[in-house]
Structure 1
């Protein structure tokens, strides 16, 4: 979203962002920010207003309080803040409650409301929390109906998301729902593999994962896979942090595969291409849930933009793209034995051809300029 805002500024638009005080993913307010610090700033030509919220902490209750506090602050801000805009654009990663902030602003400004859906609700709530009680889900479902009804144009990150939105019980007009995939920022480029401090220059087959380390990412499969590949000279490089990190490290220790893993702390996004460049393949996975079959993760575009061969424990949209692009191998979610077989297969392939396929598919389907031109047409 930051990159999209910067691009709109470059194209001559005035951009104002209403967001929360930063506290994701570790649940603590970032140093230098607070209720009385850096609540209003200009960043790369973008005016930013940070509204109050309760940091998410590490518990489910904290996460709920975080969601509710931002929603209430946002609705109030929409009614009282003196901001001018021709279009209100809501960027919806979970929680979807935040979109009520965008609608509040759109109604006050009498401006069209555009929505970019990256997480399906209430499906995401059921998948992530395990809560399926109608007492909880029905009100969320009604909120989602309200949001779609009060949105002029809806953009979704996968064809499956488009179908899911259009086929809800309360019908959504297909004419206003569009497939608009995520792109990777322009600094995601294929690079020459130059030595980096974190990744040893040895003859191992190097598989890298980058990003949030949560339960939804399905990394539980890796320690067991490493155990099956103990004699194969394969190493896994895990770059990032998140709620599941400690548990993952414990599982690695329990299976006695510490020498096959290198844990690298969270890195600035611009460093990721150089880390990818010294590895042989990039890994992504999900938990075994129907929702993830409909999802195209942003990580996939980032990997492909850097021309990486991809190893995935995934199905649905992710598997479809990897197969169409001929840029890697897939196995069923959570199946360590099949994953170990696919890794062995990948080692025997011509990786140079796979790298070319990966980058070409990205340029043909996820190019930033093409996609931002499309979005600007909707603005006009």
Structure 2
């Protein structure tokens, strides 16, 4: 009988966000290596992509309780979840998901190992209980460090979360995290540091590559000779949008345009600033289909990521891999020795702005845009592409997850 992997994740296909795409490929690799794979997740609610829903339809298994779908022969169980505007409803939905997913987890037989990513932190504790009851191993993947990432740093709730965090780290069979910065941040919280492993994120180079390009709608992406800076993803608190607004304003007289594609709580701020300041060269667009993203990346000259100072040590945008895989250079605004700066600094694939003074860093970015040549940008893009091919393809990295599971079982 083949060994069974239960992937327990808040996000999975057909939801259209980066964590889902990562775990889709991890699940498929376990299946390819002979494991039986079952996924316990939610209904799509972060980025609902109708095209993906059509390919992977969800059907009620127990009406009102959970749905099922088939992902390339892998059974996926979806607990209903919505992205409520009301905080109370979000909390209620979150609690409901925990209860139902725990009960469903108990019903899945012969599980050898449970694998899950953060966030949320609570999923790690839930899996420890499931693992104890089912007699299986638990692997917890630290994509974001909780409670460090929270704005509040003290108080009884934070103290409780820190205890939960340490319990997860020390009771799990193994913990993985994505880079040296994360490793060095949390390793002192382990009784046995040998449990902590670095497995980076990765990119699907079958999809994200410089040759996978198709025509775009010129009404949305007009063909011009301007230098095009682009960001695609969640427009949330993890990024600092104030420097972007200042940069767009400062470079009004340059032949530069800016595109922000996505949704999130900070989108209204961008749209408000665009209207108030007359930022005609700032284009705020809705999410685009995933299969068009390589073409959209190819449309741009530079991809920008401006990390929020309060979040820059606690997360690493996986979009960095997709950008590099498509031979596009980056403009990165983040503090020195942060994960994104540490990752890119030796590869000459990004312009790094680590200046803390707001006006100075905006000036530095504006001066760079005014002086950089397209030849320099193309060389930076090729450098990034070469790095991805050497170290960060899905084939190379997903094998590390399989090797880790083989080691602990």
TM-score (norm 1): 0.88
State which drifts further: 212-221 or 227-236.
212-221
Deviations 1:187-207, CA, capped at 9 Å, x for gaps: 111137654212111100001
**RMSD over aligned Cα atoms:** 2.4
Match of 1:24 in 2: 46
Change (3 A) 1:71 1:346: farther
Q: Does residue 1:300 correspond to 2:327, yes or no?
A: no
Q: Give the deviation of 1:144 after TM superposition.
A: 1.0
Q: Could you say what secondary structure the match of 2:304 adopts?
A: strand
Which residue, out of 268, 273, 279, partners 2:300?
A: 279
Instruction: Check 1:68–1:123 CA distance in 2 against 1; reply closer, same or farther (3 A cut).
Output: farther
Match of 1:360 among 386, 395, 399: 386
Count of residues paired in the alignment: 366
1:135 alignment partner in structure 2 = 156
Aligned to 2:286: 265
1:11 to 14, 33, 38: 33
Q: Which residue of 1 aligns with 2:6?
A: none
In structure 1, C-alpha distance between the alignment counterparts of 2:157 and 2:314, rounded to whole Å: 23
Residues 131 and 286 of structure 1: CA distance in aligned 2, closer, same or farther (over 3 Å): same
Counterpart mapping for 1:27-106 below 5 A? 36=64, 39-53=67-81, 55-79=82-106, 81-92=107-118, 94-106=119-131
Distance 1:357 1:321, change over 3 A: same
Q: Is the 8 A contact 2:58 2:68 kept in 1?
A: no
Residues 238 and 262 in structure 1, CA contact (< 8 A), matched pair in contact too: yes
Partner of residue 226, structure 2? 204
What CA distance in whole angstroms lies between the structure 2 residues aligned with 1:345 and 1:98? 48
Unaligned runs of 5+ in 2: 1-22
In structure 2, do the counterparts of structure 1 residues 318 and 9 end up closer, same or farther at CA, with 3 Å as the change threshold? same
Structure-2 change in CA distance of 1:347 and 1:72 (3 Å): farther
Following the alignment from structure 2 to structure 1, what is the Cα–Cα distance between the partners of residues 65 and 230? 37
Q: Give the unaligned 5+ runs of structure 1.
A: none
Change over 3 Å in CA distance of 1:114–1:341 after alignment to 2: same
Q: How far is 1:156 from its partner?
A: 0.2
Q: Which residue of 1 aligns with 2:196?
A: 177
Structure 1's 304 and 205: CA in aligned 2 closer, same or farther, altered over 3 A? same
Deviation at 1:278? 1.4
SS at match of 1:9: helix
TM-score by length of 2: 0.83
**How far apart are 1:376 and its partner, in Å?**
1.5
Higher relative contact order (CA 8 A, sep 6+): 2
Structure 2 equivalent of residue 155 of structure 1: 176
Query: 2: CA distance between counterparts of 1:120 and 1:294?
Result: 6
Which sits farther off after the overlay, 44-53 or 173-182? 44-53
